[in-house]
Structure 1
């Protein structure tokens, strides 16, 4: 009996204990679930923080690797009336012979429009890297659909100490002192040697005072020539070596706080010509075609050289004088020697000398005036009959700013081209231009 009562008591105690413990167990399980939920939420927050941190790092890296890009250029309209035929017509280099008298012409074009992009890479360990790509349409093609032309394409790496390396296509060291002209030719083959070509250039800028610096530069350039022997190879490339250029320029402040520049530069290059025999071949249909056969490779060389001095001198707050003077030989690839480099008949280089002088005046804030004279004078003794013996140009212009971005200009020129043992040719040219720069 007692045993039975004991069992009943034990069961009652267990039941009572279960009733008392049940809420405690439920509370503990709820707390555990809540803790797990908090841990899950904490994990989500931690992951979000990681993503934010990763995004911040990525943004910082992207900002550090971001290139600076600036687009620039111009839209330019040109029209020119000539009392006699000039070449190429859209701009004037020299006057063509006039055996039957003068033949006037009118040309109009937009091919001197230009588009460029300036680049700046992120600085790296004190090095500044910049670049430039520029194109225009002064190339072949119809007057209303000219082909685009690569003008400039290079990049620079510059150090804080003034050293710089330039790789790509850029102006000749002496080819950046252009006259203030409406005509797109910029006195090429009329006193202003210039051009751009692929090159490797090293320069050093020395800042002597706050207002004065010297810039020394040397470049190895592609040796661009002709195909004098007709063997199908550029004679400059046939040389197997680059041309060399070097220059030293002084930049300081002149009258009225305006820039003053004096620059001395030069070049040396070479063209190599093969010995050839010219014959003809007859096809199966009876047609006759010329044939050039090389009999001796690298048979003769023709040297190219130039010594060049440029000055830009401010005379007052409104007036400035600018000009170049030069001498050299075999310079047709540099728009000098009146477009003639080698006398193939006499087998010698054509020497030449020339330059230009221009006076500019800022008449008002919107009106700029200019007047100048350019000449390119090959050595007569190096020329064959009929070649251009001298080319000169007297000109005056006015350029008016319609807005801060748009301008119009007019230029009147008297161009005279003399030919060896032939009558000279001359033309009066009236040119108009309208330009929008951006």
Structure 2
């Protein structure tokens, strides 16, 4: 029986005891004692009822994945004083819908941005890399509202036979999918999964973040350094996680998943097909130091993946090629003080285009080889006040030049610094400056400065 069920039973017994009347013959003799006892039982009943409600509202936290998604404001430790989507969702629980024994909790935020860049970038509204001035010599101004995001959290009943594990799930989407014109953004599925979890394990099936490289730099830009040093994306998977509480100051998290093999290089007559085996991802994470509200433990992990992609290459004759994909990654997050901290990641591997590594290049189809790459990022945050926050960082993605052909991208980096202001817990303003450099094989390198203003309203 779950702990909450035991408390319900005790609550009923106390209520029954509190309502029971003393024998009539003794009523006059023990009036004062009876009244005192009833008051005591009533106080105990109210206390237990409050404890029961708190337990029912509590959900075990699955570590160590960055909360929410995010983008810049959804990391747990990156902004200790800043409001998070979890806080907003907690408020929304008061207005949650109920269908049977399932709570349905809507959330989301309206997100608008405007930016100017001195050279055109891909995608423009956000930057993966900068075009060579040989191809795009001019700057550009962008205004975008497609990052607006909507989601629903589902909280179901606990499972007594599985350690009172909490059932639940999530569906989340934005509007950054393929589009014909910029004011007709298409729905992009971000998360869609069902899960069972408690403080010792988590089982998940559906689409969500990769297991590898779980952190996100604190840039306010939608793409959070993808293509320029921050690898890892979202894909369909079956995942298992196990949490080992060795002590009050050491938590070890083991994660593993099997994933869809997504092909990133598709063009012309090239056709991608699913390989015979799924891609396997794994991570071992460590949380060192006291845990819980007000504490600042050191978190770090090592992760990796291995799998293959299959392509049918045009002929004649048509040939089938299998290309290996793998990575080795390290992630670290350390809140040094309540207001100041640092985080970062390192990666190396090959055929990382589907993971937004190698400057979104995985296979050189012209030469029939995979592209190896190494990179990473570092981010420092500081909270000036409870409302005013800053992030500054550097990110780099460096493919091996010997794996490339003319016209491909050989180096990509950017610096960033920003400031955000919490007008309210839900209403956030941000300003960021970025300096980008993208090198091309047999083309002039691209240097671009980007300025961005962001407005976000959560609910």
Over 3 Å off, 4+ runs: 226-233, 252-256
User: Greater Rg, structure 1 or structure 2?
Assistant: 1
Between stretches 123-132 and 85-94, larger displacement belongs to 123-132
List alignment gaps of at least 5 residues for structure 1. 1-62, 279-293
Secondary structure of 2:354's partner?
helix
Alignment of 1:243-282 (within 5 A): 243-253=279-289, 257-277=295-315
Q: Distance in 2 between matches of 1:77 and 1:275?
A: 41
Corresponding position of 1:148:
187
TM-score, structure 1 as length reference: 0.77
Matched, 1:311 2:346: no
Aligned residues: 356
TM-score, structure 2 as length reference: 0.74
Corresponding position of 1:220:
258
Corresponding position of 1:115:
150
Q: Distance in 2 between matches of 1:182 and 1:276?
A: 41
Secondary structure of 1:179's partner?
coil
Corresponding position of 1:348:
369
Matched, 1:195 2:233: yes
Shift of 1:202: 1.0
Shift of 1:159: 5.6
CA contact (8 A) 1:244 1:269 kept: yes
Secondary structure of 1:138's partner?
strand
Q: Distance in 2 between matches of 1:100 and 1:332?
A: 22
Shift of 1:230: 5.4
Shift of 1:388: 0.5
Corresponding position of 1:372:
393
Corresponding position of 2:25:
none
Per-residue CA shift, 1:96-149, capped at 9, x if unaligned? 011167301100111111111111111132332111111111112222220111
CA contact (8 A) 1:228 1:344 kept: no
Corresponding position of 1:82:
117
Q: Distance in 1 between matches of 2:204 and 2:408?
A: 38
CA contact (8 A) 2:270 2:313 kept: no
Alignment of 1:126-141 (within 5 A): 126-141=164-179
CA contact (8 A) 2:269 2:313 kept: no
Q: Distance in 2 between matches of 1:153 and 1:175?
A: 20
CA contact (8 A) 1:229 1:275 kept: no
Aligned equivalent of 1:398, options 419, 422, 426: 419
Corresponding position of 1:47:
none
Q: Distance in 1 between matches of 2:110 and 2:260?
A: 30
Higher relative contact order (CA 8 A, sep 6+): 2
Corresponding position of 2:130:
95
Q: Distance in 2 between matches of 1:397 and 1:227?
A: 33
Relative to 1, partners in 2 of residues 1:210 and 1:232: Cα closer, same or farther, differing over 3 Å?
Answer: same
Secondary structure of 1:277's partner?
coil
